[in-house]
Amino acid sequence: MQSSSGEMKLGSIVCQYCGELIDTVDTNRVKILYGVCGLSTCSVNNPKEMEQPLPPQAEQGKRVWHFQEGHAGMKTLLGGKGANLAEMTNAGLPVPPGFTITTDACRAYYSAGGKLPEGLFDEIRSALVKVEQTKKQKFGDSLNPLLVSVRSGSVNSMPGMMDTILNLGLNDNTVKGLASHTGNPQFAYDCYRRLIQMFGNVVFDIEGIHFETLLHRKKNELAIDEDKDVPVEAWIEIIEKFKEVIEWRANVPFPQDVYEQLHLAVEAVFRSWNNQRANVYRKAYNIPDSQGTAVNIQSMVFGNMGDDCGTGVLFTRNPSTGEKALYGEYLINAQGEDVVAGIRTPLPIAKLNQEMPEIYEQLVQTAAKLEAHYKDMQDIEFTVEKGKLFILQTRNGKRTAQAAVKLAVHFVHERILTIEEAMLRIDVEHLNQLLHRAIDEDEKLQVLAVGLPASPGAATGQVVFDADKAEEWSRSGKRVVLVSSETSPEDIHGVIAAEGVLTSRGGMTSHAAVVARGMGKPCVCGCEEVRIDTGEGQFIAGDVKVREGDWITLDGSTGRVIAGTVTLKEPEMSDELGQLLKWADDIRALKIRTNADSPEDAAKARSFGAEGIGLCRTEHMFMSASRLPVVQAMILADNLKDRKAALDQLLPMQQSDFEGIFAAMEGLPVTIRLLDPPLHEFLPNMEELLLRQERMKKDADTIDERSALDQLIRKVRNLQEMNPMLGWRGCRLGILIPEIYQMQVIAIFRAVLALQKKGVQVVPEIMIPLVGHVNELKAMRELVDRTAEDVLGTLKEQVPYQVGTMIEVPRAALTAGQIAQYADFFSFGTNDLTQMTFGYSRDDAEGKFLTHYVEHHILSQNPFQVLDTEGVGLLIEWAVESGRSKKPGLKTGICGEHGGEKDSIFFCHQTGLDYVSCSPFRIPLARIAAAQAQLIHSR
Ligand code: ADP
Ligand code: MG
Ligand code: MG
């Protein structure tokens, strides 16, 4: 308990990789103030860089930094892009010169109500002078003008979510200079029209479509397919039209003053921090709104000057599989945006080896250098200008969970990382997608088309063609697959809502693909066989028409688009995951158990590494069709004799259940919870009974049948409760009808004996649910011990069983010291404990107000997903401490759903619990989270 350790000092835990503030903590309890934020956007970095002190100028509020002045550890101030441009510049890589305006300046921009803070623009102008000197060019010069890009760059990478403007510094005058200086007017005017379009889009918020239609019309008129073939006269014409679009839409002319361009562009990039898609993305990844974006101003290099030029994106390894091979795409004679925007489908990077072998070789070397430098797989942007390579960006590449695991293990083998570093790299939530199901290949599939396998896994859903609809349908509980021709960052909310994404154009590095991979959503890209007709609300593949609302399945691992729904099969664990988990087991202090109610689940959990069962619910066993009538007879019995008769029938069934589960968990502890739910859950539904009664009246059935039904209705009505969650359930049942628990305990011990006879070792733990007062446990413990005595007799010594309780009623936690006297173990049932501590019934809360609470920051998280450490956690800490003070060897664990959630696992580790118990599929994840907890908060 914090109160017992005196004054609570607040410190903060920051992510050791990206500097993100994770939490404020009691420094009395937590010594190490570095953590892992676990965000998928986390720019997991060399931890050493974090230890690098910030240069002293940073403290003095320096707002503009030349690339030479920064380093990779300055992400919080310079944004990820700026910090890495600085790092690469200082590492001697070919980075076009430029500088970064800090995120502090962005925050100042917002607090000044959307104006550049005093003096900032002067600082920008003087920084620009230095770039002019280096490049031997002048901004706004009519002979040899300097052009720059104005690029957004947030602390956590948010690919495509904010804006960038290229070719800034062109106007009616400088474009002529560029044309004559380069001797390439077609190129110069291409740049100019790009600038006007991007400027209109970013600064004046004019939708791209207004420009694109004009361009399309002109190309049709000239019968030209590709932008690069548009002749200079046509560009000049288009530029005039583009300028008219600006005047018309923005009511001001396109600024001819280059400094005005720069001023407006910087402001617009700051503004883009708050555009809709950036906000949606931040919410999805828990990135704080207060962070702000940096702005990078960088001299331009040109990939669109001819066929000895080009631009591309490159991953140093395959981000989908983790395989060690360059992975990427490029376009000849194109400018940056063209590749990622998914306008033209680019060529695979391997082809560059034929087209530009020298450049390819340089890329291979740069990739290796950057990977070793950053100790991680890199996502690199490059441009080739007249046969010379430039690097424009590097960042830790987003990857699938499968790749993340493979990379972590390979980096250890290649001695790039230590095991501990590799372990901390793993984003535990991300692993979840590894354990998703895949398509069962034995089934006959109707493959409609095959596209690029952009993000693995299988997704089934109903087709929708726009992001808003995807969101709307998914809100109403439908599963949807988003189908669109191109991918635009504006569709982010649709991608979040969809099970998977299919696009007919765009490559593996298009925004949709990158975002989908990060989110673990299956994605098929560039599937050109699919012809989309949004007007008709359908797509056509071959001779099959698929309409909005039809079901399809995507296989993001192979790129297949399949008609209808498909059976999915269980996931398999890769060798690398096995290795990583072994390392995790060597590190972690928490034991990991599973919640399993059947031998099958128990076996599966064991294969995932479960070290026992933390919660075996017995009520599911009562629900099967063959048993329910017996259970009902038991509940409805009028007298003890009838009840016992029904229980006698149930006994052998329960015994065989337990034998199965014990056998599957041979040698490991199995916690069996005695019957918990209110009895009416096993009885027929009242409304149905009343309907039946109604019908019988009309049918003039026999009097006997009618009166039997009347009686049943009376009994069901008797058992109905105003508030079943707080009603007659758990040990309250066991105390009033001890025969039920007695039968269960007999079944448990008979099962133990039967297995022992076969030489199977069993470790039973009997758990009494819903105890709130020590006397409840006392009574139930006596019942268990007495029954054990009866069944085991002289064999008692050979069966070392334990009796414990679930701590799920706040009063039990508060009086844990008393309760511990009768308990060998506490298992925190955090679902109920959360319900009762908050006074929320989960079903009502999640359906009615909890989402609102989280969206409006009344609660930071849904406490049913992430343990509320401040309230519920306080009860747990208290119960552990006071329980152990009365009984030092008291075993403690948690068996709510929180047992499989990372932050909650960290909490359990720090509170000193012995184990967490979670569903079978989350066990691998829990093993790694427990190891991370130990690495960060060693105990
Ligand atoms: P995003 O964060 O959306 O990728 P970027 O700022 O990286 O935006 O820029 C968009 C595209 O423009 C990228 O392909 C990038 O390589 C290219 N680009 C940015 N600055 C320059 C520059 N100075 N010269 C050439 N291309 C550039
Ligand atoms: Mg970029
Ligand atoms: Mg409960």
DSSP for 668-685, written as a single string:
SEEEEEPP-S-GGGGSPP
Check residue 50 and give its pLDDT.
Answer: 44
| Beta bridge partners of residue 501, listed in sequence order | 482, 523
CA of 435 to the centre of ligand 3 (A): 27
Cβ of residue 392 lying under 6 Å from some atom of ligand 1: yes
**Ligand in closest contact with the CA of 339:** 1
Share of the chain above pLDDT 70, in %: 93
- Residue 492: band (very low, low, confident or very high) from pLDDT cuts 50, 70, 90: confident
Pocket test for ligand 1, best of 43, 392, 394, 398 (most atoms within 8 A of CB): 392
CATH fold for domain 588-683+720-938 = TIM Barrel (3.20.20)
Nearest atom in ligand 1 to 151's CA: 6
> What residue owns the CA closest to ligand 1's atom 19?
149
Q: Give the residue with greater pLDDT, 59 vs 760.
A: 760
Cβ of residue 280 lying under 6 Å from some atom of ligand 1: no
- Residue 5: band (very low, low, confident or very high) from pLDDT cuts 50, 70, 90: very low
**Tokens 């906000």 belong to which residue?**
279
Instruction: Give just the sign of the alpha carbon dihedral 175, 176, 178, 183.
Output: positive
Rounded to whole angstroms, the Cα distance separating 112 from 118 reads 9
Query: Which among 157, 162, 179, 160 is positioned nearest to 170, based on CA atoms?
Result: 179
Rounded to whole angstroms, the Cα distance separating 722 from 267 reads 59
> What residue owns the CA closest to ligand 1's atom 27?
336
Please write down the HEC assignment for all residues of 205-247: CCCHHHHHHHHHHHHHHHCCCCHHHCCHHHHHHHHHHHHHHHH
At 442 the three-state DSSP class reads: coil
Nearest atom in ligand 1 to 160's CA: 3
Catalytic residue among 37, 895, 908, 918: 895
Rounded to whole angstroms, the Cα distance separating 586 from 716 reads 53
CA of 313 to the centre of ligand 2 (A): 9
Phi, psi of 768 (to 5 degrees): -95, 120
Cβ of residue 394 lying under 6 Å from some atom of ligand 1: no
Pocket test for ligand 1, best of 393, 487, 510 (most atoms within 8 A of CB): 393
Q: Give the residue with greater pLDDT, 928 vs 797.
A: 928
Lowest mean pLDDT among 83-87, 123-127, 415-419, 668-672: 415-419
> What residue owns the CA closest to ligand 1's atom 8?
164
Query: Which among 1, 33, 272, 259 is positioned nearest to 146, based on CA atoms?
Result: 259
| Beta bridge partners of residue 462, listed in sequence order | 480, 551
Check residue 342 and give its pLDDT.
Answer: 63
Pocket test for ligand 1, best of 166, 329, 389 (most atoms within 8 A of CB): 166
Give the DSSP H or E segment for 177: helix 174-182
Bridge-based pairing of strands 591-595 and 447-450 is: unpaired
731 as an active site residue: the answer is: no
Terminal-to-terminal C-alpha distance of the chain: 17
Cβ within 8 Å of residue 692, ≥6 positions away:
709
Rounded to whole angstroms, the Cα distance separating 540 from 412 reads 47
Check residue 15 and give its pLDDT.
Answer: 59
Check residue 14 and give its pLDDT.
Answer: 53
Rounded to whole angstroms, the Cα distance separating 748 from 768 reads 14
Report the alpha-carbon angle 301-513-468, nearest 5.
110
CA of 151 to the centre of ligand 1 (A): 7
- Residue 553: band (very low, low, confident or very high) from pLDDT cuts 50, 70, 90: very high
Bridge-based pairing of strands 310-315 and 327-332 is: antiparallel
Rounded to whole angstroms, the Cα distance separating 469 from 378 reads 35
| Beta bridge partners of residue 100, listed in sequence order | 65, 296
Check residue 896 and give its pLDDT.
Answer: 84
Check residue 842 and give its pLDDT.
Answer: 83
| Beta bridge partners of residue 544, listed in sequence order | 541
Rounded to whole angstroms, the Cα distance separating 157 from 164 reads 14
Check residue 919 and give its pLDDT.
Answer: 85
Cβ of residue 336 lying under 6 Å from some atom of ligand 1: yes
Class for domain 174-254, per CATH?
Answer: mainly alpha
Cβ of residue 312 lying under 6 Å from some atom of ligand 1: no
Q: Let me know: does 246 contact 200? Beta carbons within 8 Å.
A: yes
Check residue 341 and give its pLDDT.
Answer: 67
Query: Which range, 11-20, 531-540, 764-773, has the best average confidence (pLDDT)?
Result: 764-773
> What residue owns the CA closest to ligand 1's atom 12?
336
CA of 349 to the centre of ligand 2 (A): 17
Report residue 30 CA to chain centroid gap.
26
Distances (CA, A) of 41 to 638, 746, 826: 62, 53, 37
8-state DSSP, 798: G
List pLDDT tens digits, range 441-460. Answer: 778 889 999 988 888 789 99
CA of 49 to the centre of ligand 1 (A): 25
> What residue owns the CA closest to ligand 1's atom 17?
336
Check residue 434 and give its pLDDT.
Answer: 77
- Residue 27: band (very low, low, confident or very high) from pLDDT cuts 50, 70, 90: very low
Q: For the chain, what is the mean pLDDT?
A: 89
Distances (CA, A) of 623 to 574, 627, 684: 36, 6, 12
Mean pLDDT of 151-160: 87
Q: Give the residue with greater pLDDT, 400 vs 618.
A: 618
Residue 214's CB is within 10 A of a number of other CB atoms, namely: 18
759: buried, middle or exposed (CB in 10 Å: 19+, 13-18, 0-12)? exposed
Check residue 582 and give its pLDDT.
Answer: 97
Sheet bearing 530-533, strands edge to edge = 530-533, 538-541, 544-547
Report residue 479 CA to chain centroid gap.
18
Predicted confidence (pLDDT) at residue 2 exceeds the cutoff of 50:
no
**Ligand in closest contact with the CA of 726:** 3
Q: Let me know: does 658 contact 691? Beta carbons within 8 Å.
A: no
Distances (CA, A) of 773 to 120, 548, 779: 66, 57, 10
Cβ of residue 510 lying under 6 Å from some atom of ligand 1: no
> What residue owns the CA closest to ligand 1's atom 22?
300
Rounded to whole angstroms, the Cα distance separating 439 from 563 reads 13
Check residue 51 and give its pLDDT.
Answer: 47
Rounded to whole angstroms, the Cα distance separating 263 from 275 reads 19
Check residue 435 and give its pLDDT.
Answer: 72
Query: Which among 894, 932, 928 is positioned nearest to 594, based on CA atoms?
Result: 894
Cβ within 8 Å of residue 868, ≥6 positions away:
834, 837, 838, 861
Nearest atom in ligand 1 to 152's CA: 6
Rounded to whole angstroms, the Cα distance separating 41 from 85 reads 18
Q: Give the residue with greater pLDDT, 242 vs 403.
A: 242
List pLDDT tens digits, range 37-88. Answer: 555 455 443 333 444 667 888 778 899 999 999 999 899 999 999 999 999 9
Residue 852's CB is within 10 A of a number of other CB atoms, namely: 10
Predicted confidence (pLDDT) at residue 3 exceeds the cutoff of 90:
no
Distances (CA, A) of 46 to 22, 23, 193, 254, 478: 18, 21, 41, 44, 42
CA of 164 to the centre of ligand 1 (A): 7
CA of 152 to the centre of ligand 2 (A): 9
Cβ within 8 Å of residue 797, ≥6 positions away:
none
List pLDDT tens digits, range 266-292. Answer: 999 999 999 888 888 888 777 888 899
CA of 670 to the centre of ligand 3 (A): 17
Mean pLDDT of 664-686: 93
**Ligand in closest contact with the CA of 340:** 1
**Ligand in closest contact with the CA of 836:** 3
CA of 185 to the centre of ligand 2 (A): 27
Nearest atom in ligand 1 to 157's CA: 2
Cβ of residue 166 lying under 6 Å from some atom of ligand 1: yes
- Residue 13: band (very low, low, confident or very high) from pLDDT cuts 50, 70, 90: low
> What residue owns the CA closest to ligand 1's atom 14?
336
Predicted confidence (pLDDT) at residue 228 exceeds the cutoff of 60:
yes
For 464-480, b/e burial (b = at least 16 CB within 10 A) is bbbbebbbebbeeeebb
Query: Which range, 4-8, 283-287, 697-701, has the best average confidence (pLDDT)?
Result: 283-287
Pocket test for ligand 1, best of 191, 381, 395 (most atoms within 8 A of CB): 381
> What residue owns the CA closest to ligand 1's atom 9?
164
Check residue 42 and give its pLDDT.
Answer: 53
Mean pLDDT of 835-844: 91
- Residue 666: band (very low, low, confident or very high) from pLDDT cuts 50, 70, 90: very high
Which structure tokens are listed for 278?
A: 């950036």
Cβ of residue 85 lying under 6 Å from some atom of ligand 1: no
Largest CA distance in the chain: 107
Cβ of residue 301 lying under 6 Å from some atom of ligand 1: yes
Cβ of residue 893 lying under 6 Å from some atom of ligand 1: no
Cβ of residue 498 lying under 6 Å from some atom of ligand 1: no
Computed over its alpha carbons, how large is the radius of gyration of the chain?
33
Catalytic residue among 511, 680, 898, 909: 511
Predicted confidence (pLDDT) at residue 113 exceeds the cutoff of 80:
yes
Check residue 901 and give its pLDDT.
Answer: 92
| Beta bridge partners of residue 805, listed in sequence order | 768, 826
For 526-546, b/e burial (b = at least 16 CB within 10 A) is bbeebebeeeeebbbbeeeeb
Check residue 564 and give its pLDDT.
Answer: 94
436 as an active site residue: the answer is: no
Check residue 454 and give its pLDDT.
Answer: 82
**Tokens 């072998």 belong to which residue?**
357
Bridge-based pairing of strands 669-673 and 480-484 is: unpaired
> What residue owns the CA closest to ligand 1's atom 23?
300
Lowest mean pLDDT among 32-46, 494-508, 570-584: 32-46
Cβ of residue 393 lying under 6 Å from some atom of ligand 1: yes
Q: What DSSP line would sit under 885-906, residue for residue?
A: HH-TT-EEEE-SGGGGSHHHHH
Rounded to whole angstroms, the Cα distance separating 796 from 791 reads 9
> What residue owns the CA closest to ligand 1's atom 26?
336
How much is the pTM? 0.75
Mean pLDDT of 810-839: 97
Predicted confidence (pLDDT) at residue 12 exceeds the cutoff of 60:
no
- Residue 243: band (very low, low, confident or very high) from pLDDT cuts 50, 70, 90: very high
Cβ of residue 300 lying under 6 Å from some atom of ligand 1: yes
Give the DSSP H or E segment for 130: helix 120-135
Check residue 36 and give its pLDDT.
Answer: 53
Cβ of residue 298 lying under 6 Å from some atom of ligand 1: yes
Cβ of residue 383 lying under 6 Å from some atom of ligand 1: yes
CA of 82 to the centre of ligand 2 (A): 11
List pLDDT tens digits, range 728-747. Answer: 999 999 999 999 999 999 99
List pLDDT tens digits, range 523-542. Answer: 998 898 999 998 899 999 98
Residue range 437-569, CATH number: 3.50.30.10
CA of 824 to the centre of ligand 3 (A): 19
Rounded to whole angstroms, the Cα distance separating 420 from 663 reads 35
At 252 the three-state DSSP class reads: coil
Cβ of residue 167 lying under 6 Å from some atom of ligand 1: no
Predicted confidence (pLDDT) at residue 9 exceeds the cutoff of 80:
no
Instruction: Output the CA torsion 250→254→260→263 (10° steps).
Output: 50
| Beta bridge partners of residue 532, listed in sequence order | 539
| Beta bridge partners of residue 449, listed in sequence order | 561
CA of 302 to the centre of ligand 1 (A): 11
List pLDDT tens digits, range 298-352. Answer: 999 999 999 999 999 999 999 888 999 999 999 999 998 788 666 677 899 999 9
Cβ of residue 165 lying under 6 Å from some atom of ligand 1: no
> What residue owns the CA closest to ligand 1's atom 6?
151
CATH number for domain 310-395, candidates 3.90.79.10, 3.30.470.20, 3.40.50.920, 3.40.50.10320: 3.30.470.20
Check residue 160 and give its pLDDT.
Answer: 78
- Residue 6: band (very low, low, confident or very high) from pLDDT cuts 50, 70, 90: very low
CA of 776 to the centre of ligand 3 (A): 15
